Amino acid sequence: MTRRVSAPSGSPPPDKATLPDRAPVALEPLARESWPLYLAAYPDEIERYGPAAEDWCVHDGKWLLAWAAGAERGDIDLDEQLRWLARVLDARGFPLDRLAGYLEILGDVVEGSELGRDTSIADRLRGGTAVVLPA
């Protein structure tokens, strides 16, 4: 049964990530690249969340990428942001193992990208799995 989930609203995620001494990196292409990988890992996502599933994946992906870049700059506490997001998603009934899986997917996408060049952003994202799924 498909849940009718509305498209993302509210404060939009950043479009670009900035790192010291680097040109800004567009986040939309990276978040879009993550969608088919996420869907392959969780093929029931469209059935569960309807047509807004991709929009939410990209929306949340852009936030996660921006937070990880902010952590790399030293002005965002990624673990704090991930704990907040996990609380919000858990309250909405979203499986947190999927959030952890998405962090792994984003880490893989970032690793081969300009955002991942000479940074630890991919490792920061992958490390977030322990934050959203504490032992």
12-49 confidence digits (pLDDT tens): 999 999 998 889 999 999 999 999 999 999 999 999 88
CB-CB contact of 72 with 25 (8 Å): no
Q: Residue 16: helix, strand or coil by DSSP?
A: strand
CB-count burial class (<10 Å; 0-12, 13-18, 19+) for 48: middle
47-105 pLDDT tens trace = 988 888 999 999 999 999 999 999 999 999 999 999 999 999 999 899 999 999 999 99
**pLDDT number for residue 31:** 97
The model's confidence at residue 2, banded by pLDDT at 50, 70 and 90, is very low
Q: In the chain, where are the structural domains located? A: 25-132
Its pTM stands at: 0.93
Q: Quick one: which of 39, 24, 113 has its CA closest to 70?
A: 24
As given in the structure block, the two tokens for residue 52 are: 């807004």
Q: Quick one: which of 72, 74, 100 has its CA closest to 86?
A: 100
